[in-house]
Each structure stands twice: as C-alpha cells, then as structure tokens.
Structure 1
Amino acid sequence: MPRPADPATRDRILAAASRLFYTRGIRAVGMAEIVAAAGCGKNVLYRHFPSKEELVLAYLHRLAEQLDDSMDAAVVGLEKMPSAALVAVTREVADRVAARGFRGCPFRNYLREMRDPSDAPGRFALTEIRALRRRVDGLVAAMGVEEPDVMADRIWLAIEGMYASAPYGDRPAAATSAVGLVQELLAAA
C-alpha cells in the first residue's frame, strides 16, 4: 500500500523549486536538481508533481497568492479613494521591484523565457498580469476621469516600465520615478 503524500514534503519541494526557478529560470533547472535541493527522492517529487509543468504551475500559483495578498493589503482602507489606491498599487510594485534580490516578475519572466503562453503555466501567467491590469482599469474608472482608457494606459505603462527597466540601472530610482509619475498623472486628472 503506498504511503499518503505528506503536505510538508510537498511544501519543501515547492520551496526548493521556487528558489531555483526564480533565480535561474525554468529551463535551466532540471528535476534532478530539484530532488537534490528538496532532499527527497525522485518518486516522492513525482508523487506530488507528476510533471515539471505541474511543478511550474504550482510555483506560479504560490507566487500569485503572495503577490495578490500584498496587493490587497496595499489598498486596504482605500476603497473610497481610487486615486490613493492607484498610488498604493504602484508603490507596491515599486517596493517589490526595488527590493534586494528582485529578479523580475515571475509571470513576465515565465512568458519571456518560455515564449509559449498557450501552456497551463503561460495561461496562468497571462491571467495574473491581466488581473493587475483590470485592477488598474477599475480604479481609474472609479475616479470618473475623462478618457479613463488613456489614464489607465499611462499608469499601466509606468508599472510595466518598472518591470521592464528592472534588469538595468538603478531599480530604486526607477521605482521612485514611476510612483512620482503616477502621482503627477493623478494630480493632473
């Protein structure tokens, strides 16, 4: 009779894989390396994650929960102040981008590295990116500004610009500039 899967082992495997995937990329990390990093057997890994794709999807889901929670926490109490919430959302991204060890948005990294948004992890990554865009769009719409699509596009470009410029130059300065740009856009609205 097979032993039941231990959730602590699953978490240990996922934590090891997450570190490796985030620092080195999905393609660069093999399942044998994850087995070694997690300190488990190959059979144990495959009992929890029958394929690398399922492990990658679990990694992206885990990060999505963390990012969604931090984004939700950033806007607590700002439900009736959409412009303040937009600044808070931008600042949340800025803080993440400026943080030590930041190696890019995991969803954007996946899409850049794998170049196939049609697999399950790719579809999930796109869903997460689009969810943030919908949050921005909804907050701009709640402001009641003229041309909300234009305002949302500009704020989105500031957010995307932080992610795009992260590998180059001074991330904290770029993050501060992006927050300032969004504040200026909102003040002019």
Structure 2
Amino acid sequence: MPRSADPATRDRILAAASTLFYTRGIRAVGMAEIVTAAGCGKNVLYRHFPSKDDLVLAYLQRFAEELDGSMEVAVEGLDKIPSAALVAITREVADRVAARGFRGCPFRNYLREMRDPADVPGRFALTEIRALRRQVDALVARLGVDDPDLMAERIWLAIEGMYASAPYGDRTEAATTAVGLVQELLAAA
C-alpha cells in the first residue's frame, strides 16, 4: 500500500524550492537541486509536485497568500478612506522593495524570466498583478477625481516603478519617493 503524502514534507520541499527560485531564478534551479535542498527523495518530490510547473505554481501561490495577507493588514480600517488605502498599498509595496534581501516580485520575476504568460504559472502571475491593479482602479474610482483613469495610471506607474527600479540604485530612496509621489498626486486631486 502506498504511503500518503506528508504535508510537512510538502511544506519543506516548497520552502526549499521557494528560496532557490527566489534567489537564483526558475530556470537555474533543477529538480535534483531541490531534492538535495529539501532533504527528500526524488519520488517524494514528485509525489507532492508531479512537475516543475506544479512546484513553480505552488511557489507563486505561496507568495500570493503572503502578499494578500499583508495587503489586507495594510488597508485594514481604511474602507471609507480610499486615498489612505492607496497610500497604504503603495507603502506596503515600498516596504517590500526596500527590505533587505529583496530580489524582485516573484510574479514579475517569473514573467520576465519565462516570458510565457500563457502557461499556468504565467497566467497565475498575471492574474495576481491584475488583481492589485483592479484594487488601485477601484479605490481611485471612489475618490471622485476628474480623470480617474489618469490618476489610477499614475499611481500604478509609481508602484510598478518601484519594482522596476529596485535592481538599480537605492531601493529605499525609490520606495520613499514613490510613496511621496502618490501622496502628492492624491493631495493635488
């Protein structure tokens, strides 16, 4: 009788793979390296994750849960103050970008590295990015500004700009600047 899959082993494999994928990239990491890092057998790895795409998707889903949780905390209690929620979202991204060890957003990293938004992990990454954009759009729509599309685009560019500029220069300064820019845009609206 085959043994059932142990959830703790699955978590250990996913944790090892997540660290490797985040620090080195998806393509650079092979399944044999994950087996070694997780301290499990190849059959055990494939019992939990039948393919590398399954493991990559689980890695992206794990990050999505973490990000969703931190975004919920960031905007908690700001339901009636859309401008404060927009600043809180921007600040949450800024804190991530400025954090020690930041190597990019896993969704954006995946899409840049794999260049195939049509595969399952790519579709998931795009869905998550678009969900945050929709949240920004919805909050801006509640502001009552003259041109909500333009305002949402400007705020989105400040957020995306933090991710794009992170590998170059001072991430903390870029993050602080982006938060200030969003605050200025909202104050001028």
2:123 corresponds to 1:128: no
What SS does the aligned partner of 1:143 have?
coil
Residue number in structure 2 paired with 1:118: 118
2:33 corresponds to 1:33: yes
Cα offset, 1:18, TM superposition: 0.2
Cα deviations across residues 120-144 of structure 1 (Å, max 9, x unaligned)?
0000000000001001001001111
Cα deviations across residues 59-83 of structure 1 (Å, max 9, x unaligned)?
0000000001001100000000000
Residue number in structure 2 paired with 1:154: 154
Q: Number of residue pairs matched?
A: 189
Amino acid at match of 1:118: A
Aligned partners of 1:19, 1:59: CA distance in 2, in Å?
9
Residue number in structure 2 paired with 1:92: 92
Residue number in structure 1 paired with 2:56: 56
- The normalised TM-score by structure 1 is 1.00
Structure 2 unmatched runs, 5+: none
2:16 corresponds to 1:16: yes
What SS does the aligned partner of 2:61 have?
helix
Amino acid at match of 1:88: A
Cα deviations across residues 85-105 of structure 1 (Å, max 9, x unaligned)?
000000000000000000000
- The normalised TM-score by structure 2 is 1.00
Aligned partners of 2:110, 2:96: CA distance in 1, in Å?
17
Amino acid at match of 1:12: R
2:1 corresponds to 1:5: no
Aligned partners of 1:87, 1:134: CA distance in 2, in Å?
15
Aligned partners of 2:180, 2:90: CA distance in 1, in Å?
10
Structure 1 unmatched runs, 5+: none
Amino acid at match of 1:40: C
Cα offset, 1:145, TM superposition: 1.0
Amino acid at match of 1:138: A
Aligned partners of 2:133, 2:26: CA distance in 1, in Å?
25
Aligned partners of 2:103, 2:144: CA distance in 1, in Å?
36
Cα offset, 1:164, TM superposition: 0.1
What SS does the aligned partner of 2:27 have?
coil
Aligned partners of 2:145, 2:74: CA distance in 1, in Å?
22
Cα offset, 1:57, TM superposition: 0.2
Residue number in structure 1 paired with 2:171: 171
Aligned partners of 1:167, 1:106: CA distance in 2, in Å?
14
RMSD: 0.3
What SS does the aligned partner of 2:142 have?
helix
2:181 corresponds to 1:184: no
Residue number in structure 1 paired with 2:139: 139
Cα deviations across residues 16-47 of structure 1 (Å, max 9, x unaligned)?
00000000000000000000000000000000
